[in-house]
Amino acid sequence: MNNFFQRYLDSWRFTGWMRHDITLTIVLGIGVVFILFLLMKRWKIRTSFIVLMAYFAGSSFIMIVFGLAGRSFPIQAMSSVYTDPEETVAVQLVRGSENNGTSNGITHIIPHYQLVAINVHTGEKQWTQSFASRETLIGPFMDGLLIHHSDGEVGTLSLLHMKTGKEKLSKKDFAQQYKQVVELISSSAGRMAVLDKVLYFEGIDGVYYQFDGKQLHEKPEAQEYLSTKFFVESTIPNYFASHDRPVDDEEYEKISEFKDDVLREPAIQPVANLEPQIMDVDLNQNTALVSYLKTIQKNAEQFVLFYDMKEHRMIWKANIGRVNSEQNHPGVRVLAQSLAIQTGDEFILLDKATGNEISRYELRWNRPIR
């Protein structure tokens, strides 16, 4: 599925990636003009055939070079995976890195950002939306997806419908309805998080606040919540998407100790030199998800195993394939019945109880892999 010929065929589909879709629109538009021109001129079949072949050769070259079929385009997760309350749609912000050549020993990368929504039940694309580098996906809030926009020296907010991707509250509407909140928002989204349907953030006045969608209050504890979130996710990325609630310093210590205990388990030691990483821990169930390489090679396939600390045994393990160099380590979101795993180029759903693969989705071309 990842060979050049397949990429070339895939490049003739609209994928949601803006650079690719604009290129394809131009190529198809020129093709329509050529056909109309030939019909009007009524040239001989031989002449028309030569012109069409020249168009085909030129358009193929354009789609290979500018349509990204011939370029490296690794995908990296830029947010956790979020779902609607019924867990029917999974949404994530991803970045594609286009290699634009090397000059003076410096490789030039053009980043492309996209929100991708996947139907959890069918594995098909639900919707996509191009994003800008100054926009950050904060998470589910007020029955929508909260987006932070860095507009120069100020920050603004907006809301999207999770199931459709359509705008629910524009930046202007949000600022009008919640003026007091927007006036306190920083241009950086680094000190902001949605936990248990409440927005916690550090205001530009240095005060910490909470906003539940109706009332804005000062919340000194928000400083601890945000700091703890940073420290937890520095070792277990995306932890709070699966465990959506504030964590204090005491629970942070328990999470850290549990994580270290899992890696010291005798059953984990056989893969100790294969870069084992903790993907998720559940203190209530005493379970953990661990990823590790199949071999010591950096580009090796990776396994995910589900470990029970009560019985000190592995429940199941699954091969999720290669994780690209941009992503480095797989990310996970624990759902009620399944695990949403992001390996960079692919989005995978595994059955939570057995580890069996439910579906696999190719993010570069935004299509399910059959």
Give 284-305 pLDDT, tens digit per residue.
Answer: 999 999 999 999 988 899 999 9
Q: What does the angle CA 258 – CA 76 – CA 125 come to, to the nearest 5 degrees?
A: 105
Amino acid 295: pLDDT = 93
164 CB neighbour count, 10 Å cutoff? 12
Packing angle of the helix pair 45-65, 18-41 (nearest 10 deg): 170
Whether 1 has a pLDDT exceeding 50, the answer reads: no
Cα-Cα-Cα-Cα dihedral sign, residues 250, 256, 258, 260: negative
How far is 74 from 324, CA to CA, in rounded Å? 7
Amino acid 93: pLDDT = 96
Per-residue pLDDT reduced to its tens digit, 114-166: 999 999 999 999 999 999 889 999 999 999 999 999 987 889 999 999 999 99
Average pLDDT, the chain: 91
Mean pLDDT of 278-284: 95
How far is 320 from 298, CA to CA, in rounded Å? 15
What's the gap between Cα 224 and its chain centre?
Answer: 26
Per-residue pLDDT reduced to its tens digit, 54-101: 888 988 888 888 887 877 889 999 999 999 999 999 999 999 988 776
DSSP-derived letter for residue 271 is G
Per-residue pLDDT reduced to its tens digit, 241-267: 999 999 988 999 999 999 999 999 999
Per-residue pLDDT reduced to its tens digit, 342-352: 999 999 999 99
- The phi and psi torsions of 76 (rounded to 5 degrees) equal -135, 140
More confident residue, 39 or 357: 357
Distance spanning both ends of the chain, measured CA to CA: 10
